[in-house]
Amino acid sequence: MKIAIIGGTGPQGQGLALRFAKAGLEVFVGSRDPERAESTVSEVNSRLPIGSSNIVGMSNIDAIRAADEMVIFAVPWSGHNDTLNIIKKELSNKILVDIVVPLSENDPKKVDMPPEGSATEAAQAILGSEIPVVGALHNVSATTLSNLDWDINCDVLVCGNSLDARKKVIELIKKLNVKAYNVGDAQSARCVEALTPILIRLNISKMVPFSHSGIQIWAPDHK
């Protein structure tokens, strides 16, 4: 299975590249600057255990072309809409997995949602109904992803308007040994994206004794 990670040189993108390559997927990390992608990837590859797939760095467009279907979108929120407009015409027959959180510029403990309601909804508005957008992986800390010794301590909430695309993304995420749940259409991204600044707030709070927190779904018969 071949996946692309657009904006994959940031901390979240690097962490996901590491985890998916460890799980045996071929990972194509894209960047606006292909040379930066190559140098970042060579460092990330050096941290992979024996038996992992190799990660390859290239331009965003080349990474999309190299993917079978799944394109993980991991740019900073400030570049979210502009980048989508640039890559849009390359995305036919792909699924965009939008992991971007519209953190407030002045306060990472808050979101500043776009008029569409969430990043996922903004992406779907730009791409139109032909290209499915699935929001996922917003709440997993980059630090957790990057520490291959740690289990990923965060369930993944998966939303988007196409049920079929959601199911495929859930299968993709389960390859990381993470629980992934279908939480409904793109409107649910207003909640899921906004969980991230809540976790950031807890991580930097003096009222709690932990950091790198995640969320988990729990039920009486599901410990």
Residues that bind a second copy (CB under 8 A): 109-110, 144, 150, 153-154, 157, 181-184, 187-188, 190-192, 194-195, 197-199, 201-203, 205, 207-222
Beta carbons of 142 and 132 less than 8 angstroms apart: no
The torsion angles phi and psi of 117, rounded to 5 degrees, stand at 115, -30
Whose Cβ is closer to a second copy: residue 49's or residue 209's? 209
DSSP 54: P
Best CA proximity match to 118, nearest among 66, 160, 60 = 160
Whose Cβ is closer to a second copy: residue 67's or residue 154's? 154
Q: What is the 3-state secondary structure (H, E, C) of 32-43?
A: CCHHHHHHHHHH
- Least CB distance to a second copy at residue 30 (A): 30
Whose Cβ is closer to a second copy: residue 10's or residue 214's? 214
- Least CB distance to a second copy at residue 209 (A): 7
- Least CB distance to a second copy at residue 185 (A): 8
- Least CB distance to a second copy at residue 142 (A): 14
Alpha-carbon dihedral sign for residues 200, 202, 206, 211: negative
Q: Rounded CA gap, 123 and 97, in Å?
A: 10
Whose Cβ is closer to a second copy: residue 68's or residue 112's? 112
